[in-house]
Amino acid sequence: MNYSAVILAAGKGTRMRSEIPKVMHKAAGKTLIRHVIDAVLESGVKDIVVVVGHGRASVEQELAGEGFRFAVQEEQRGTGHALLQAEPYLEKSRNFLVLPGDTPLLQTNALRAILNHHKDTAAQATVLSCTLQDPTGYGRIVRSAQRRFEAVVEEKDASPEQREISEINSGIYVFMGASVLAALHELKTNNAQKEYYLPDVLDIINRKGQKVEVLRHPSEEDIYGVNDRVQLAYAEKILRRRKNYALMYSGVTITDPDLTFIDASVDVGRDTVVLPFTFLAGNTKIGENCRLGPGSFINDSIVGNDTSVEYSRVKEAQIGDECTIGPYSYLRPETIIGNQVKIGDFVELKKTVVGEKSKIPHLSYIGDAVIGKYANVGAGTITCNYDGKDKYVTIIEDHAFIGSNTNLIAPITIGKNAVTGAGSSLSHDVPPDSLAVERAQAKVKKKRE
């Protein structure tokens, strides 16, 4: 069967106490709405309508250019009212998966299960339920003495007895277009929140004698809804754990998965060891047999094989094989490091290319530079790349040796095999195979008593 999906993402998310719409908050590096969309796409449903309202510009922007359609709910008058705004898209003869935008832990198995159950039972409406240890906050599934579905009762409307019910509404449904449309028009707001409750359509459809199915989902985690920031942190923890476990099963050592933070988008090669307090974020690819951390933060970067990065920050950079980075290096955007390079403590590199087997071991700022192979950049070397207005390039050719505490006043080229004396401030090119020293004669006098 061919399904469409409607994702409800217009709510304010009052309980987040935020200027940002709830579905735009991030868990494990990805917005809540994106987590939901990814799960829906992965379950094979490609035709997606998103109901937006509160903060709609940012939600539309997040999902722009991917062929999704948007329905607008100007005023947030409840989940039923939200779905009604998608009426122009709700074809009568089509089946719709309807789900909230705040369930980032959702996985395809839950969606496939409800879609299959709806089809197999030829129901007009199917709701995914779950039995929770602590059902607080969710709508409860009320059943008759014969255990047949009767209604969903929201926490705020529930009697003390109903609050004892542990089977809850996940907020995930499949509806036949014609049935749900008719029922949506019959919704009333005679409830505690004066809202049009979407789950009330189940009761309406049921009363009409049309088939309503309840499918109980075994995993409490999958349907977890984020309504406040404590729940957001919980969702984040689960997502992190899933990623770390997947990596460990694929051959990565993570010494403490509770203290390691890796976005779902990151690739890590086998036999790489990730030590605690390490963050790998964004579009990052790590090779095999690396050692990352402790305490490193790498985002949108590529790291080769057999490289170590210890207590360092790497941002939109590339690092080759068998390199040693850190402790305490700072690699900034557009830095490209070849193989077998050493970048040591308190070294900052910006927009710099470093050739293979070169070393910048200590206390340097190197920006807008191109460094060849086998070069040694002494402790405390600074590229003076900026005159307050423009940036200039420093070139250090193969096998050059830059003495400690050298200022390279760019634009400048240090030729192949050249040596610069420690403490020099150089503003002219140094030809290959030569020595450049700029140093005042020391005056040695007798000390006054």
Residue 295 binding partner per list Ca ion, ligand UD1, none, with a CB distance cut-off of 5 to 8 Å that depends on partner kind: none
**Using the rule CB under 6 A, is 79 a contact of ligand UD1?**
yes
Q: Which residues fall within 8 angstroms of residue 98, CB to CB, at 6 or more apart?
A: 5, 6, 7, 8, 83, 172, 173, 174, 175, 180, 198
The residues in 78-107 that bind Ca ion, with binding defined as CB under 5 A, are: 102
From the list 106-114, 169-177, 293-301, 437-445, the region that binds ligand UD1 by CB under 6 A is 169-177
* CB distance 273 to 253 below 8 Å: yes
**Using the rule CB under 6 A, is 217 a contact of ligand UD1?**
no
Which residue in 173, 197, 311, 330 binds ligand UD1 (CB under 6 A)? 197
Q: Which of 25, 217, 362, 399 is catalytic?
A: 362
**Using the rule CB under 6 A, is 138 a contact of ligand UD1?**
yes
From the list 76-84, 247-255, 351-359, 422-430, the region that binds ligand UD1 by CB under 6 A is 76-84
Residue 82 binding partner per list Ca ion, ligand UD1, none, with a CB distance cut-off of 5 to 8 Å that depends on partner kind: ligand UD1
DSSP character at residue 250: T
Dist CA 99 CA 126 (whole Å) = 12
Query: The tokens of 123 are what?
Result: 């129901």
Dist CA 247 CA 290 (whole Å) = 14
DSSP character at residue 444: -
The residues in 227-266 that bind Ca ion, with binding defined as CB under 5 A, are: 227
Q: Which residues fall within 8 angstroms of residue 348, CB to CB, at 6 or more apart?
A: 329, 330, 332, 364, 365, 366, 367
Which residue in 35, 56, 77, 350 binds ligand UD1 (CB under 6 A)? 77
CB of 90 to Ca ion, least distance (A): 22
CB of 85 to ligand UD1, least distance (A): 8
From the list 168-176, 240-248, 317-325, 382-390, the region that binds ligand UD1 by CB under 6 A is 168-176
Q: Is 35 a catalytic site residue?
A: no
Among residues 22 and 357, whose Cβ is nearest to ligand UD1? 22
**Using the rule CB under 6 A, is 199 a contact of ligand UD1?**
yes
Dist CA 87 CA 82 (whole Å) = 10
Which residue in 82, 235, 266, 410 binds ligand UD1 (CB under 6 A)? 82
- Amino acid of residue 168: I
Among residues 226 and 366, whose Cβ is nearest to ligand UD1? 226
Which residue in 131, 210, 227, 417 binds ligand UD1 (CB under 6 A)? 227
Among residues 102 and 321, whose Cβ is nearest to Ca ion? 102
DSSP letter string, 266-309: -EE-TT-EE-SSEEEESS-EE-SS-EE-SS-EEES-EE-SS-EE
Residue of 420, 434, 317, 320 whose CA lies nearest to 373? 320
Which residue in 29, 225, 287, 326 binds Ca ion (CB under 5 A)? 225
**Using the rule CB under 6 A, is 304 a contact of ligand UD1?**
no
Dist CA 303 CA 280 (whole Å) = 11
Which residue in 29, 55, 101, 104 binds ligand UD1 (CB under 6 A)? 101
Half-sphere exposure of 432 (CA within 13 A, CB side): 5
Which residue in 62, 102, 310, 348 binds ligand UD1 (CB under 6 A)? 102
Reported as type and span, the H/E element at residue 258 is none
Which residue in 35, 55, 70, 78 binds ligand UD1 (CB under 6 A)? 78
Q: Which residues fall within 8 angstroms of residue 48, CB to CB, at 6 or more apart?
A: 4, 5, 6, 7, 37, 40, 41, 68, 69
Please state the φ and ψ torsions of residue 236, each to the nearest 5 degrees. -60, -45
DSSP character at residue 428: S
* CB distance 266 to 281 below 8 Å: yes
Please state the φ and ψ torsions of residue 61, each to the nearest 5 degrees. -65, -40
Which residue in 100, 304, 367, 415 binds ligand UD1 (CB under 6 A)? 100
Coil/strand/helix, residue 367: strand
**Using the rule CB under 6 A, is 40 a contact of ligand UD1?**
no
Closest residue to Ca ion using C-beta atoms:
225
Among residues 88 and 209, whose Cβ is nearest to ligand UD1? 88
Please state the φ and ψ torsions of residue 86, each to the nearest 5 degrees. -90, 10
Among residues 172 and 280, whose Cβ is nearest to Ca ion? 172
From the list 89-97, 197-205, 210-218, 414-422, the region that binds ligand UD1 by CB under 6 A is 197-205
Residue 217 binding partner per list ligand UD1, Ca ion, none, with a CB distance cut-off of 5 to 8 Å that depends on partner kind: none
Q: How many CB atoms lie within 10 A of CB 251?
A: 12
Which residues lie near ligand UD1 (CB under 6 A)?
A: 8-11, 23, 51, 73, 76-79, 81-82, 100-102, 138-139, 152, 154, 168-171, 197-199, 225, 227
Catalytic positions, written as ranges: 362
Which positions touch Ca ion (CB under 5 A)? 102, 225, 227
